[in-house]
């Protein structure tokens, strides 16, 4: 049975949602819709939009916001937090290992091929130790819930996970519009995320930096779907937002062009993919990159966050090994479980997947954003057959997981509250220490019964409360 | 052997070029087989001083043009003393793991012809024997011929042509070795060829294959033998594109003309080197 975040086993309202129920009763559905209209007007005014690939229509449309918060109790959060921190530590330890001696491969735990033949693995990083031994400075971990005590990790995001601006904006809107809710309930604040991010970035300043580190956010430009977030985070941190053409490399150091002359840059929170960041190190046809920036990084003149090649840790082929990584590097048992995963490249798994396609979710190993996946129970026979042909052609490119019965959270529907499936992405910061703001982004699949929460596939967002 | 090398590369731009930045891998590293007596790299007569070690263990530097520029002249020169290590280069701890060099690249993608070549070379006496057989096969089947291939020719295409230059022969060897499950990489360097006049050399390329317990073993399919003391290594990579000693970018614009001049000569052995080579 689907776990409802709001209701207990006997259908009673869980204590943590009492405030929400009371608020809904007092305000009424019509009242909530009116307030939602006001919230959307504010979002539009501040300009928070999210481009949606491949869906046509307005590329700058507003991401749907749901007024009803998703709530974690203090005890639930304590466990989630421990599990998230543990995972962020293990993923960084894995990256340090595979770019050095590869002990986990020598130990026979992770197969060499899925690391060294993986495009996400960058040989250019071999033997280099980034400042603070940190590769993934912002780890976004997608978590789903299937029961009162059942949390599972769906995937890791070690490169440049997006969406944290929604966490901040959603809370901002809620506190601005409904201050009384935050008087009634003690909700842990998330507004220190930008200062924690800045602190983490400054902590990984390179050897060449002697004074106060200069941090910048590097964006591919205003055509990028997450540009709003890039400028928003730069603004909140009080640092410059730069494009590649604003930077240049000289004498192993990186400078930004300013009206008062070149200024040294020490730490770059880059929101450009590895392949496009430096045409002299990676894709030579990239017009986006900063020539020589990778050389400056290896020379210790600048720090790139995340490190190029950090993506090997969040690859779907690597995902299945994360619990073993936690044991190998930390000597601990994974606090958060993985979703059981079949690798179609393994003959036994392949047979199982092909026999059970109608019940499974199948994903491309290197895909992201909910594109190119098959949700068996929601697909027609034809769709399944077409997809099966793709798997047959290249089994190693696919993994499969059971269709998870994601928990539902109360969501404002046209005529009242409806239950919609949700997931959760916290943003764990890694500098000299690991930091986690109590909260994250809750994504909600707005269509009835839908399990796809990706904002690129019509998902919406909610404020996420961690109670104290 | 003591070898004197002078390698000049010149880029001429039809109109002054803007935003020229170059990545240079033009400095040999000290290893068990070679030690650097003297080496310098200059770009337009300015010495390059800052070098770092890249992921393959090779020296790497960056040069940025001070403004618009009509020509770039890069001169790498120096003296290197070498000893015959039977083609074996010892790895050092910081460089990329050997298993990385099983990774296919667009230039070394294995097709049926390359897989067949690998199988022909497979020996019951183990991987070292297979690699020697492979080197002999490539040397015999792929004739050295300039002008039939370009820098973009793949191993599969060159094998089908049965001709090419040292780059193609090395690519064929690398692709076939990988198809046998043996890590192999591309090496760029210089060759002191006693049969050639000092001023008629080109940059040279060969392959190295990894053998557990031995290290990286060089195979020069152009010569049909393992490198001895006439080879000087400067850079390596997954293929020729990855190992390129010079890579550059510029803002779109002027047409570029590239020219090379390589001079390689033997030097008299001095006392110190003689002592070393007798050990």
Confidence of residue A11 (pLDDT cuts 50, 70, 90): confident
Q: How far is A363 from chain B (nearest CA, A)?
A: 24
Nearest beta carbon to residue A124 from set B55, B102, B104:
B55
CA distances A15 to A12, A18, A395, Å, are 9, 5, 47
- As a whole number of angstroms, the distance between CA A425 and CA A443 comes to 8
A252 and B50 in contact by Cβ < 8 A? yes
* Sign, Cα dihedral of A64, A438, A19, A35: negative
Measure the CA–CA gap between A179 and A174, rounded to whole angstroms.
7
Kindly provide the b/e burial profile for residues B255-264, where b requires at least 16 CB atoms within 10 angstroms of the residue's own CB: eeeeeeebbb
CA angle B43, B48, B51 (to 5 degrees): 135
Task: Indicate yes or no: CB of B54 within 8 angstroms of CB of A298.
Answer: yes
Say if residues A137 and A306 touch (Cβ distance below 8 Å): yes
Pairwise CA distance, residues A299 & A304, whole Å? 12
The per-residue pLDDT for B278 is 37
CA B247/CA B74 separation, integer angstroms: 12
Which residue is listed with tokens 């400075």? A137
Q: What backbone torsions phi and psi does residue B248 show, to the nearest 5 degrees?
A: -140, 160
Q: Which residues from B are below 8 Å from A298, CB to CB?
A: 52, 54, 60
Q: Does the pLDDT of residue A56 top 60, yes or no?
A: no
Whole-angstrom CA distances from B80 to A182, B24, B269 are 74, 19, 11
B151 touches chain A (CB under 8 A): no
Confidence (pLDDT) at A53: 40
- The number of beta carbons lying within 10 Å of the beta carbon of residue A60 is 13
Domain boundaries, chain B: 2-278
pLDDT at A223 over 90: no
Whole-angstrom distance, CA of residue A239 vs CA of residue A256: 12
The pLDDT tens digits of the residues spanning B66-113 come to: 999 999 999 999 999 999 988 898 887 778 899 999 999 999 999 999
CB-based contact (8 Å) between B62 and chain A?
yes
Q: Is residue A130 a contact partner of residue A294, using CB atoms and an 8 Å limit?
A: no
Q: Which of B50, B104, B249 sits opposite A280 (nearest CB)?
A: B249
Strands B163-164 and B143-144: parallel
Q: How far apart are CA B46 and CA B17, in angstroms?
A: 19
Contacts of A291 in chain B (CB under 8 A): 19, 21, 249
Convert the pLDDT of each residue in A275-297 to its tens digit. 999 999 999 888 789 999 999 99
- Share of residues in chain A with pLDDT > 90 (%): 78
**ipTM of this predicted complex?**
0.92
Backbone angles phi, psi at A166, to 5 degrees: -70, -35
Q: What is the pLDDT of residue B275?
A: 41
Longest dimension (CA), chain A: 68
Q: How far is CA A74 from CA A60, A139, A180, A393, B78, in A?
A: 36, 22, 21, 48, 68
Q: Please indicate if any CB of chain A lies within 8 Å of the CB of B49.
A: no
Structure confidence at residue B90 (pLDDT):
84
Q: What is the pLDDT of residues B193-203, one digit of tens each?
A: 877 777 667 78
B272 pLDDT band (50/70/90 cuts)?
A: very low
Chain B residues touching A295 at Cβ < 8 A: 23, 52, 60, 62
Please give the C-alpha separations between residue A377 and each of A265, A383, A405, B146, in angstroms, as whole numbers. Answer: 51, 11, 12, 60
For A239-249, write each residue's pLDDT tens digit: 999 999 999 99
What digits encode the pLDDT tens for the residues A299-324? 999 999 999 999 999 998 899 999 99
Return the closest-CA partner of residue B91 out of B5, B183, B229, B26. Answer: B183
Closest residue, chain B, to A121 (C-alpha): B100
Residue B175, number of CB atoms within 10 A of its CB: 29
* Average confidence (pLDDT) over A374-400: 92
Reported in sequence order, the residue ranges of A219-334 that DSSP labels E, i.e. its strands, are 240-242, 247-250, 253-256, 263-265, 267-270, 303-305
Residue of A nearest to B24 (CA): A280
Does A337 score more than 80 pLDDT?
A: yes
Cβ-nearest to A292 among B21, B56, B94 = B21
pLDDT > 70 in chain B, percent: 96
Helix or strand holding residue B2 (H, E)? strand B2-17
Q: What mean pLDDT is predicted for residues A200-209?
A: 96
Residue with tokens 């300009």: A47
C-alpha A408 chain-centroid distance: 20
For residue A454, pLDDT beyond 80? no
Q: What is the DSSP letter of B20?
A: -
R_g of chain B computed on alpha carbons: 19
Give the class (CATH, top level) of B2-278. Answer: alpha beta
Task: Report the gap between the CA of B264 and the closest CA in chain A (Å).
Answer: 29
CB-based contacts of B160: which residues, under 8 Å, 6+ apart?
B113
Q: To the nearest 5 percent, what fractions of chain B are helix, strand and coil?
A: 25, 40, 40
User: How confident is the model over B221-249, as a mean pLDDT?
Assistant: 94
Using alpha carbons, list the distances in angstroms from residue A241 to A229, B32, B106.
11, 48, 36
Yes or no, beta carbons of A116 and B103 under 8 Å apart: yes
Question: Best mutation site among B96, B105, B108, B236 for testing chain A: the one with the most A CBs within 10 Å?
Answer: B96
Dist CA B271 CA B273 (whole Å): 6
Output the six-digit token pair for A290.
């900063």
Chain B positions in Cβ-Cβ contact with residue A121 (cut-off 8 Å): 100
Name which residue leads in pLDDT, A7 or A63: A7
Is the predicted pLDDT of residue B261 greater than 90, yes or no? no
Q: What is the pLDDT of residues A22-51, one digit of tens each?
A: 999 999 999 999 999 999 888 887 766 554
Q: Tell me the per-residue pLDDT of A352-384, one tens digit each, with 9 for 90 and over.
A: 999 999 999 998 887 655 567 898 988 999 999
Residue B209 neighbours by CB under 8 Å, 6+ apart: B127, B131, B173, B177, B182, B183, B184, B185, B216, B217, B219
Stretch 111-140 of chain B: residues touching chain A, C-beta under 8 Å: none
Minimal Cα–Cα distance from B197 to chain A, Å?
35
Quote the percentage of chain A above a pLDDT of 70: 95
Rounded to an integer, the average pLDDT of A262-283 is: 96
Question: Are A116 and B102 a contacting pair at CB < 8 A?
Answer: yes
The mean pLDDT value of chain A amounts to 92
Whether B273 shows a pLDDT value over 50: the answer reads no
Average pLDDT over residues B133-155: 94
Q: Does the structure show a pLDDT above 70 at B184? A: yes
Worst-scoring range by mean pLDDT, A450-459, B34-43, B171-180, B241-250? A450-459
Mean pLDDT of B27-37: 93
Burial level of B150, CB count in 10 A (0-12/13-18/19+)?
Answer: exposed
**The CATH number of domain A340-402 is 3.30.1490.270:** yes
Q: What is the pLDDT of residue A57?
A: 43
- Position A52 scores a pLDDT of 40
In chain A, what are the domain boundaries? Answer: 15-206+302-334+405-466, 340-402
Smallest Cβ–Cβ distance between A280 and the set B21, B50, B93 belongs to B21
Which residues of chain B are within 8 Å of residue A122 when distances are taken between CB atoms?
55
Residues 65-94 of B with CB under 8 A from A: 93-94
């Amino acid at each position: 049975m689907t776990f409802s975040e709001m209701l207990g086993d006997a259908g009673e309202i869980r204590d943590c949602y009492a405030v929400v129920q009371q608020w809904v009763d007092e305000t009424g559905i019509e009242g909530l819709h009116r307030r939602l209209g006001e919230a959307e007007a504010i979002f539009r005014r501040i300009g928070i939009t999210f481009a949606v690939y491949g869906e046509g229509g307005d590329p700058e449309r507003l991401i749907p916001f749901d007024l009803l918060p998703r709530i974690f109790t203090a005890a639930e959060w304590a466990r989630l937090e421990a599990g998230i921190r543990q995972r962020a530590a293990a993923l960084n330890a894995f990256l340090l290992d595979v770019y050095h001696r590869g002990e986990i491969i020598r130990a026979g735990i992770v197969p060499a091929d899925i690391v060294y033949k993986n495009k996400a693995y960058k040989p250019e990083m071999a033997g280099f130790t980034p400042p603070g031994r940190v590769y993934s400075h912002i780890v976004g971990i997608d978590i789903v819930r299937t029961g009162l005590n059942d949390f599972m990790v769906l995937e890791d995001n070690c490169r440049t996970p997006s969406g944290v601006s929604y966490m901040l904006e959603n809370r901002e809107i809620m506190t601005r519009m409904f201050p009384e809710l935050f008087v009634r309930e003690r909700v842990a604040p998330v507004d220190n995320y930008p200062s924690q991010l800045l602190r983490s970035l400054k902590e990984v300043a390179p050897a060449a930096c002697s004074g106060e580190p200069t941090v910048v956010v590097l964006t591919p430009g205003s055509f990028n779907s997450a540009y709003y977030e890039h400028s928003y985070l730069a603004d909140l941190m009080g640092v410059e937002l730069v494009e590649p053409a604003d930077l240049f490399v000289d004498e192993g150091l990186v400078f930004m062009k300013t009206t008062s002359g070149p200024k040294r840059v020490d730490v770059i929170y880059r929101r450009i993919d590895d392949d496009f960041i430096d045409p002299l190190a990676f894709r030579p046809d990239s017009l986006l990159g900063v020539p020589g920036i990778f050389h400056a990084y290896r020379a210790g003149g600048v720090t790139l966050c995340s490190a190029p090649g950090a993506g090997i840790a969040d690859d779907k082929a690597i995902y299945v090994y994360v619990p073993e990584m936690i044991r190998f590097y930390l000597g601990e048992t994974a606090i958060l479980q993985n979703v059981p995963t079949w690798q179609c490249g393994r003959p036994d798994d392949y047979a199982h997947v092909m026999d059970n396609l109608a019940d499974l979710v199948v994903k491309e190993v290197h895909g992201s954003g909910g594109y190119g996946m098959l949700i068996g129970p929601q697909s027609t026979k034809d769709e399944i057959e077409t997809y099966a042909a793709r798997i047959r052609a290249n089994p190693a490119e696919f993994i499969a997981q059971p269709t998870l019965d994601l928990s539902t959270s109360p969501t404002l529907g046209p005529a009242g509250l409806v239950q919609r499936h949700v997931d959760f992405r916290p943003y764990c910061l890694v500098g000299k220490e690991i930091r986690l703001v109590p909260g994250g982004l809750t994504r909600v699949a707005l269509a009835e019964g839908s399990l796809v929460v990706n904002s690129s596939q019509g998902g919406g967002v909610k404020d996420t409360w961690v109670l104290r | 052997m003591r070898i004197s090398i002078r390698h000049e590369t010149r880029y001429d731009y039809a109109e002054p070029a803007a935003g020229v930045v170059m990545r240079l891998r033009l400095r040999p590293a000290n290893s068990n087989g070679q030690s650097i007596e003297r080496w310098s790299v200059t770009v337009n007569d300015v010495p390059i001083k800052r070098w770092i070690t890249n992921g393959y263990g090779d020296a790497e530097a960056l040069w940025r043009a001070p403004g618009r520029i009509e020509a770039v002249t890069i001169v790498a020169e120096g003296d290197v003393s070498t000893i015959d290590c039977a083609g074996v280069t010892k790895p050092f701890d910081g460089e990329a793991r050997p298993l990385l060099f099983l990774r296919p690249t667009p230039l070394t993608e294995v097709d049926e012809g390359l897989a067949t070549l690998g199988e022909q070379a497979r020996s019951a006496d183990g991987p070292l024997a297979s690699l020697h057989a492979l080197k002999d096969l490539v040397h015999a089947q792929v004739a050295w011929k300039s002008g039939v291939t370009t820098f973009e020719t793949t191993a599969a295409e060159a094998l089908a042509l049965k001709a090419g230059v040292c780059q193609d022969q090395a690519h064929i060897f690398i692709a076939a070795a990988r198809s046998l499950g043996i890590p192999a990489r591309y090496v760029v360097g210089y060759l002191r060829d006693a049969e050639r006049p000092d001023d008629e050399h080109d940059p040279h390329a060969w392959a190295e294959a990894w053998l557990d317990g031995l290290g990286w073993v060089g195979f020069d399919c152009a010569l049909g033998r393992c490198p001895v003391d006439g080879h000087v290594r400067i850079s390596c990579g997954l293929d020729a594109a990855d190992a390129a000693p010079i890579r550059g970018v510029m803002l779109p614009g002027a047409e570029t003309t590239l020219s090379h001049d390589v001079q390689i000569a033997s030097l008299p052995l001095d006392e110190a080197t003689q002592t070393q080579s007798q050990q």
